[in-house]
Amino acid sequence: MTFFTDESADWLRGLAANNNKVWFDEHRKEYEERFRKPYLALAGALIEQVAELEPEYEMPAKQAVYRINRDIRFSKDKTPYKTELGISVGRNNRHDSGWPAYTCRIGLAGVWVAGGMYSPSTEIRDYLRRYVGEHSAELGELIAAEPYATTFVDIKGEAHKRAPAELKELAAVEPMVLNKQWVFWQSFEDPKLFTSPKLDQFILDQWEIARPIQEFFKTAIRAYDA
């Protein structure tokens, strides 16, 4: 199924060249037809297919997408609209910080695919730090396995510079014990992806590659909740 068309791409190029409210209001009808509708359709298709294997990710498409308006309050860039669209699929909710999420960002230049534990609560974060340390061999095998190793390379995320006393021994062996988040991401720069009829499948394929990592953290959270 084709979600975004050449007309969608033309509209987005127009927005990039005229990123202001006057232009947007003049082209609002095109926004609804060429951008918003296929955006929601793509989100719905991704959710439906992810939820077939992982039913906890069932959620309304409208909850998985983001407003096109940028938050410019604390940004030097005062252009009011985004020129890339994001989709996040979490556990029944886009922002369930207690469960690994799948996310992506799509634009004219290509696709950015990501996922993992973005902003766990302090309690879950501290639990995961110890869990990662105690299961570092298992996690290391998952990261080193193909095709994950070639596609995403490693697990990233902001980290503390120092470990608390109770975690120093684990952190000396496994640096990811210092993490505040555990995420994967990769950019796929290919302008053809935006209008590809296989856009949804491309994103799903990348998420599927990372699913063993997601399952690792799901197992950890289930143990925490038990």
CATH topology of domain 6-225: BirA Bifunctional Protein; domain 2 (3.30.930)
Query: What's the mean pLDDT when you consider all of the chain?
Result: 96
Are 181 and 118 in contact by the 8 Å Cβ rule? The answer is yes
Question: Which pair of tokens denotes residue 183?
Answer: 């995420």
pLDDT at 226 over 80: no
User: Would you place residue 184 in the very low, low, confident or very high pLDDT band (cuts 50, 70, 90)?
Assistant: very high
Look at the block and give the residue holding tokens 């994001």: 86
Residues 170-198: what's their mean pLDDT? 96
Residues 54-71: what's their mean pLDDT? 96
CA–CA distance, 195 with 6 (Å, rounded to integer) = 7
Question: Structural domain boundaries of the chain?
Answer: 6-225
User: Would you place residue 47 in the very low, low, confident or very high pLDDT band (cuts 50, 70, 90)?
Assistant: very high
Residues 211-226: what's their mean pLDDT? 95
**Length of the chain counted residue by residue:** 226
pLDDT tens sequence across 14-27? 999 999 999 999 99
What was the pLDDT predicted at 202? 98
pLDDT tens sequence across 142-175? 999 999 999 999 999 999 998 888 999 999 999 9
What was the pLDDT predicted at 134? 96
CA–CA distance, 27 with 107 (Å, rounded to integer) = 19
Residues 24-51: what's their mean pLDDT? 97
pLDDT tens sequence across 82-132? 999 999 999 988 889 999 999 999 999 999 999 999 999 999 999 999 999
